[in-house]
Amino acid sequence: MKRIMLFLPVAALLPVGIGAQEDERERQAAPKRGMVLVAGEWQEPTPDAALRALMDIQVNSLSVRVGPTTAVLRQVYDSYSPGELRSLEDRLVDLIINGDEAQQRAARLALVVAAGDSGYVDPGVPYAGSRTAFIRVFETLRTHDYERARTYLLNIARLGGHEYIGDLFAASEQPPPCFQPHDARPGEPLPPASEWCPPVRKVLWCDAGGHLVGREGGPDRMLHLRLCTRMRV
């Protein structure tokens, strides 16, 4: 009895769903970075279309979601008036302040990449408004959510906003001394926990000063360490 062997294409051996998923991934691969898919066709992004793509949580890749917005801000495919760019910036600032966590993260990344602070060489012209946008975010959040506001000082500093941070530092109040573990003396009782230095002192003098250590007008390095962190023994 002869044995008949059939050799089928690999695709025929895969479940139909897998093949369909591969086709869908190929269909969804943008021909150029930052383009948007509209009615099955890839198009250059407009500000409105870019913002819709940024908020599309069905797309898992954060870089894909923010790509159209950064392309608009960096004017990769078209030129926009300062007013049009500021309008898009306003929407991103609003998402950072009032949006959910996913929207905050996407809007923040869009401004970082648009400014050219992503660590990669991106096409187009760096968007000069990102630093101002982060300052606006900080100024708004500091009045009611300083815990979140303080994280944006890093973005401001990375985009060259040290003069602004210097003004914040100069107007802030130096915190009082706190107890450091290495200050303990043998045989002497330790002070109450309320007098110990916290691991990180989250006050403006410390947060702004941390970006100014070693710069003119900034705090002394050791003083900043003693007042703003719990130093290791």
CA contacts within 13 A on the Cβ side of 231:
17
Both structure tokens of 69: 């917005």
The span from the first CA to the last CA of the chain, in angstroms, equals: 84
Per-residue confidence (pLDDT) for residue 3, from 0 to 100: 47
Buried b (16+ CB within 10 A) or exposed e, 172-198: eeeeeebbbeebeeeeeeeeeeeeebe
Q: In the prediction, which pLDDT does 28 show?
A: 55
- H or E segment to which residue 22 belongs: helix 16-28
Q: Is 56 helix (H, G, I), strand (E, B) or coil?
A: coil
Angle, CA of 119, 70 and 142, to the nearest 5°? 80
Determine the pLDDT at residue 30.
65
Element (H, E) at 36: strand 36-38
Model confidence pTM above 0.85: no
Mean pLDDT by 10 residues, the chain (233 residues): 41 39 49 82 92 86 89 95 97 96 94 86 90 98 96 96 97 93 81 87 96 96 92 66
